[in-house]
């Protein structure tokens, strides 16, 4: 008897999944344990496993479809079975994934462009594009264009603008024909070519889809639009991030504590360790030492390694150390489990592996859930200091800034060149009081400034 395979819940926060790729075709024989499709969840891209044998009779969902949890994906059964009695319907795309085509006008209202963790700022729209009144000849339209909108990721669009690539003439290789970074780079580097001339968009005259080059005036001022005005559809991950961060910021009473630490001893030790172990392929980053310092500080002050559970505060026995990794669609926090039992070298190796999987969107649910504390480091991007939003149900998150050379007061009240790093702790005041947070930060400061303790 034919069996309908529904979209499973592949993560604790998942409500919808996007079908990225079919691994099996209609008519293919299946056995239990086979992977039949790739599904993009709110956190990662995962393979969908078949738990029974038979034949793939029908693919209900198409590549690029956004499918609610519990909605049908495919039908498995025996060859020749009648499927007419089954209630099958192709899943409708989520509203965020199919915005209507945008009408561009020269005097549009400013567009609000929020940045994570910052207030919304109004940015004026770019000037209207150059419109050609002649009717274009018929040309094939790239699959990456739907309803008059070019489906392209924000990163791919940015790279295309920098390299002068016309995204409207590319064939996307991402979910649903979406243009991704690799598609743009392939054309920019001469490894691929355009597949069509710029298409005629429905409901309007043919319009240039790429911003004109920005000439430099005699005064050295760049002119012209900085990007094409558009409505960018939300990915599953970005929609989840938006919802969870809004909940976190509005429901958790944040307060912030900051210390400035002397990073010179840590930098010196790191250089010695990496120099001595380079032949063995060992390389430890500043962030690896910070993760280890946080683990040991939580051992000294375990009250920060807790979570708010509504009617109680849960004290965690183990430290499952999460760390933020930026990926194309947003942010994810891989977790080094039982970090209290691991050396800085083990933490470094595991963090490197998890970070690579995160960027490939190949993390499994148990690799990005269950963290008890989190570290967010923007120091490598030159940010001196910042405040991070707590990732519930954690009670705190540490924001790590860049190491900055600055004059400091040395021995004998002399002014010397110091290497200083700002550490900012965001605390959930329902769990962590000011004194407790300050004690934990003092422990981290002591460990960073005496980094030999992190090698024990």
- Measured CA distances, 424 to 268, 325, 440 (Å): 23, 18, 11
Q: What is the mean pLDDT of residues 54-71?
A: 90
Of 205, 233, 261, the residue at which a domain comes to its end is 233
Residue 125 lies in a domain: no
170 and 71 in a common domain: no
User: Each residue of 234-292: pLDDT tens digit?
Assistant: 888 888 889 999 999 999 999 999 999 999 999 999 999 999 998 888 899 999 999 99
- Based on the fold, state whether residues 53 and 180 are members of the same structural domain: no
Does residue 82 have an active-site annotation?
Answer: no
Of 132, 288, 429, 446, the active-site residue reads 429
The per-residue pLDDT for 225 is: 86
Q: Is 433 a catalytic residue?
A: yes
Q: Dump pLDDT digits (tens) for 306-346.
A: 999 999 999 999 999 999 999 887 899 999 999 999 999 99
Residue-by-residue DSSP string for 59-121: E-S-TT-EEETTSEEEEEE-TT---TTS---PPPPPGGG-PPPPPP-TTPPPEEE--TTS--E
Among 366, 384, 433, 446, the one annotated catalytic = 433
Q: Which domain covers residue 219, as residue numbers?
A: 130-233
Instruction: Say if CB 415 and CB 409 are below 8 A apart.
Output: yes
The pLDDT of residue 118 is: 39
**What 8-state DSSP symbol labels residue 397?**
E
390 falls in which pLDDT band (50, 70, 90)?
Answer: very high
Q: What is the pTM of this model?
A: 0.64
Alpha carbon of 23 to those of 38, 88, 169, 360: distances in Å?
A: 7, 21, 27, 18
Cα angle 433, 434, 440; round to 5: 95
Same domain as 48, residue 14 = yes
User: Which letter, b or e, does each residue of 71-97 get, where b requires 16 or more Cβ atoms within 10 Å of its Cβ?
Assistant: bbbbbbbeeebeeeebeeeebebbebb
Distance CA 368, CA 91 (A): 28
Residue at 166 is within a domain: yes
The answer to whether residues 286 and 422 belong to one domain is yes
pLDDT confidence of residue 218: 54
Of 59, 90, 121, which residue constitutes the final position of a domain? Answer: 90
pLDDT digits (tens, 9 = 90+) for 355-384: 999 998 889 989 999 999 999 999 999 999
Distance, C-alpha 219 to centroid of its chain: 39
**The pLDDT of residue 205 is above 50:** no
pLDDT at position 126 is 42
Window from 144-158, 313-327, 365-379, 432-446 with minimum mean pLDDT: 144-158
Q: Domain containing 58 — which CATH number?
A: 2.40.50.100
Is residue 121 included in any domain, yes or no? no
Q: Who has greater pLDDT, 368 or 103?
A: 368
Please check the confidence at residue 140 and state whether its pLDDT lies above 50.
Answer: no
Give the contacts of 103 (CB within 8 A, at least 6 positions apart): 204
Report the pLDDT value the prediction gives residue 143, as an integer from 0 to 100. Answer: 47
* Residue 167 is assigned to a structural domain of this protein: yes
Counted domains in the chain:
3
Q: What is the pLDDT of residues 114-137, one digit of tens each?
A: 344 433 333 344 444 333 333 333
User: Do 347 and 441 belong to one domain?
Assistant: yes
Q: How many other β-carbons are positioned within 10 Å of the β-carbon of residue 230?
A: 17
Would you state the structure tokens that stand for residue 309, as one six-digit string? 């559970």
What is the mean predicted confidence (pLDDT) over 11-21?
84
Q: Using DSSP, state whether 322 is helix, strand or coil.
A: strand
CATH number of the domain that 292 lies in? Answer: 3.30.559.10
**Which of 324, 321, 289, 287 is closest to 305 using CA atoms?**
321
105 assigned to some structural domain: no
Verify that 28 and 147 share a domain, yes or no. no
Domain-terminating residue out of 199, 233, 267: 233
């Amino acid at each position: 008897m034919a069996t309908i395979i529904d979209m499973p819940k592949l993560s604790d926060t998942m409500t919808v999944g996007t079908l990225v790729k079919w691994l099996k075709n209609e008519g293919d024989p299946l056995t239990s344990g086979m992977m039949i499709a790739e599904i993009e969840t709110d956190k990662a891209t995962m393979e969908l496993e078949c738990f029974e044998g038979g034949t793939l009779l029908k693919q209900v969902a198409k590549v690029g479809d956004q499918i609610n949890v519990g909605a049908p994906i495919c039908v498995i059964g025996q060859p020749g079975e009648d499927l007419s009695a089954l209630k099958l319907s192709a899943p409708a795309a989520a509203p965020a994934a199919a915005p209507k085509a945008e009408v561009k006008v020269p005097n549009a209202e400013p567009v609000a462009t929020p940045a994570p963790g910052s207030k919304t700022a109004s940015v004026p729209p770019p000037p209207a594009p150059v419109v050609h009144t002649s009717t274009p000849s018929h040309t094939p339209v790239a699959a990456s264009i739907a309803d008059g909108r070019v489906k392209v990721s924000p990163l791919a669009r940015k790279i295309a603008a920098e390299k002068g690539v016309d995204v409207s003439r590319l064939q996307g290789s991402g979910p649903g024909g979406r243009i991704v970074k690799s598609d743009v780079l392939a054309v920019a580097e001469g490894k691929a070519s355009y597949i069509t001339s710029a298409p005629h968009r429905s409901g309007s005259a043919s319009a240039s889809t790429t911003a004109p080059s920005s000439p430099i005036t005699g005064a050295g001022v760049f002119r012209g639009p900085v990007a094409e005005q558009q409505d960018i559809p939300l990915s599953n991950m970005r929609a989840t991030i938006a919802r969870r961060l809004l909940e976190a910021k509005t429901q958790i009473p944040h307060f912030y504590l900051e210390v400035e630490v002397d990073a010179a001893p840590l930098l010196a030790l790191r250089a010695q360790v990496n120099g001595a172990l380079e032949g063995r392929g060992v390389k430890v980053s500043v962030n690896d030492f910070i993760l280890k310092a946080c683990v040991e500080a939580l051992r000294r002050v375990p009250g920060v390694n807790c979570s708010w559970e509504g009617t109680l505060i849960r004290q965690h026995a183990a430290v499952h150390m999460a760390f933020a990794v930026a990926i194309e669609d947003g942010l994810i926090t891989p977790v080094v489990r039982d970090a209290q039992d691991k050396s800085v070298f083990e933490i470094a190796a595991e963090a490197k592996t998890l970070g690579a999987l995160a960027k490939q969107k190949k993390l499994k649910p148990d690799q990005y859930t269950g963290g008890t504390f989190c570290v967010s480091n923007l120091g490598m991007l030159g940010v001196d200091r910042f405040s991070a939003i707590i990732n519930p149900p954690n009670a705190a998150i540490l924001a790590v800034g860049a190491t900055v050379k600055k004059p400091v007061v040395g021995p004998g009240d002399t002014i010397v060149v110091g290497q200083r790093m700002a550490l900012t702790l965001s605390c959930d005041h329902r769990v962590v009081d000011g004194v407790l947070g300050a004690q934990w930060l003092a422990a981290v400061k002591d460990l960073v400034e005496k980094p030999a303790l992190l090698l024990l």
